[in-house]
Amino acid sequence: SSVKFLMSSPEIASLSWGQMKVQGSTKIYKDCKVWPGGSRDWDWRETGTEHSPGVQPADVEEVVEKGVQILVIGRGMSEALKVPPSTVEYLKKKGIDVRVLQTEQAVKEYNALATQGIRVGGVFHSTC
């Protein structure tokens, strides 16, 4: 049914350096957050995020609130973006399986899970 489709995790349609497209959106993202039913820009200025120390709980909180079972974090093409243990702990405490990968690998993993109908979310960094 269409309702189930709307609430399924949208696939990442394309990824290249500095550009990501997500199914269901016409926008071109540099960095993006994706969850069952939607996506948006991941603007690091909102949380004061930098490559180091890296992804903060505040960066993933919004995706967590959408009720995801798995969260995939794309650390960039050359994995410049760090993911501190505190963020992994935060996710585990919420009962979420977290997978931290290089962005191309992260997108493959995320899309494979989304195709299986799993409630998966992601935050992806598309440059270094």
Domain boundaries, the chain: 16-124
> In this structure, what token pair is assigned to residue 36?
């069952």
pLDDT band at 7 (very low <50, low <70, confident <90, very high): confident
For the 16-124 domain, the top CATH level (class) is alpha beta
Long-range (24+ apart) CB contacts under 8 A made by 80-86 are 80/51, 80/125, 80/128, 81/51, 81/54, 81/55, 81/125, 82/51, 82/52, 82/53, 82/54, 82/55, 83/54, 83/55, 84/53, 84/54, 84/55, 84/56, 86/57
pTM: 0.94
- pLDDT exceeding 90 applies to what percent of the chain? 95
Q: How far apart are the first and last CA of the chain?
A: 39
Question: pLDDT tens digits, residue range 67-124?
Answer: 999 999 999 999 999 999 999 999 999 999 999 999 999 999 999 999 999 999 999 9
